[in-house]
Amino acid sequence: MNMAPQELEKSASQYASDAIKHDSQGARGMAITNYQKATESLLKLQRLYPDSQLNKIYAERMRSGMMWLVLMMQRMHYVNQ
């Protein structure tokens, strides 16, 4: 049984909020994990509802999340050098 679109949107939003919180606390690994989960939730929405008018918004949010992940991983690499 699939989650309703509203539940998936809420889940993605919560994961993103948690990622921001963890990042501000210095828990970068947890932040990365939560952003990955947010992205997975948005991708699932796109796959379940391919004709949704919201898919452009989901794609933009995923791009933003992926950019954040890349920056976070670069920061981690820089700190660990």
Average pLDDT, the chain: 86
The domain tally of the chain equals 1
pLDDT digits (tens, 9 = 90+) for 27-54: 988 998 999 999 999 999 999 999 999 9
Provide the residue range defining the domain that includes 12: 5-79
Asked if the model's pLDDT at residue 56 lies above 50, the reply is yes
pLDDT digits (tens, 9 = 90+) for 59-77: 998 888 778 778 777 777 6
Q: Tell me the CATH number at 61.
A: 1.20.58.80
Q: What is the radius of gyration, based on Cα positions, of the chain? A: 14
pLDDT at 3: 63
Asked if the model's pLDDT at residue 10 lies above 80, the reply is yes
Amino acid at the residue 22: H
Distance CA 7, CA 64 (A): 21
